[in-house]
Chain A
Amino acid sequence: SQKIEQNSEALNIQEGKTATLTCNYTNYSPAYLQWYRQDPGRGPVFLLLIRENEKEKRKERLKVTFDTTLKQSLFHITASQPADSATYLCALNGQNFVFGPGTRLSVLP
């Protein structure tokens, strides 16, 4: 069956460190993968998109990788700040737009 998993429900890291979040999928062949941020009481907000033929994408302190062989995407936040605390969701285009369960990131000062 089709499945999207994100590495852990919650991740705590110290301010200034790099946060690494994982998205794994099964029985999908997405042409691209997207990452979103969701704050409490708000809808998800788009951050980055990476296509199947791209290995890596960067935007400011954010970096995304996409390995179609491993069926995995990694999302990195470098020099993390308390303001980066949120839930991060990966999404891919299977038959339609499907989201992973999310990882709640807490950056501790």
Chain B
Amino acid sequence: DAGVIQSPRHEVTEMGQEVTLRCKPISGHNSLFWYRQTMMRGLELLIYFNNNVPIDDSGMPEDRFSAKMPNASFSTLKIQPSEPRDSAVYFCASSLAQPDNSPLHFGNGTRLTVT
């Protein structure tokens, strides 16, 4: 199993540009999560999906952020327009359907730098 695959690994962009982060979850997993990690705030949940449906997006910072899951094998997190304070590592994770005690499997993240 390839695990959760995220792309790109690194993204450097200028303020105001659109950024799209991509995630391929583990096959057979029904839940998908997007987290953001910074030194100041740690690992913050942005949004999670069950069976491709967004269940809780209360962690999405503002309207500049949007996430989609068009099918069970692909999800995107888009920031438009990007700002320097969006600089962070963004993780995607998948698991068997929540709420459950199934562990989360994380990708290796996308390090986003907005200048």
Give how many A-B residue pairs fall within 8 Å (CB-CB).
53
The 8 Å CB contact of A97, one of B4, B98, B108, is B98
Residues of B contacting A51 with CB < 8 Å?
A: 101
Q: Do the beta carbons of B93 and A96 come within 8 Å of each other?
A: no
**A44–B55 alpha-carbon span in the complex (Å):** 22
Q: Do the beta carbons of A34 and B48 come within 8 Å of each other?
A: no
**A97–B92 alpha-carbon span in the complex (Å):** 13
A109 interface residue per 8 A CB criterion:
no
Chain B: interface size category? 20 to 34
A2 interface residue per 8 A CB criterion:
no
Residues of B contacting A44 with CB < 8 Å?
A: 43, 91, 104, 106
Residues of B contacting A97 with CB < 8 Å?
A: 33, 45, 48, 98, 104
B18 interface residue per 8 A CB criterion:
no
Please name 25 pairs of A and B residues whose Cβ atoms are closer than 8 Å in the assembled complex, sorted by A: A34-B101, A36-B104, A42-B108, A43-B91, A43-B93, A43-B106, A43-B109, A44-B43, A44-B91, A44-B104, A44-B106, A45-B106, A46-B103, A46-B104, A46-B105, A93-B99, A95-B56, A96-B45, A96-B48, A96-B56, A96-B98, A97-B98, A97-B104, A99-B43, A102-B43
Smallest CB-CB A-B distances: 5 pairs: A43-B106, A46-B103, A99-B43, A101-B42, A32-B101
What is the interface of chain B, defined by CB distance below 8 A to chain A? 4, 33, 35, 42-43, 45, 48, 55-56, 91, 93, 98-99, 101, 103-109
What is the interface of chain A, defined by CB distance below 8 A to chain B? 31-32, 34, 36, 41-46, 49, 51, 89, 91, 93, 95-102
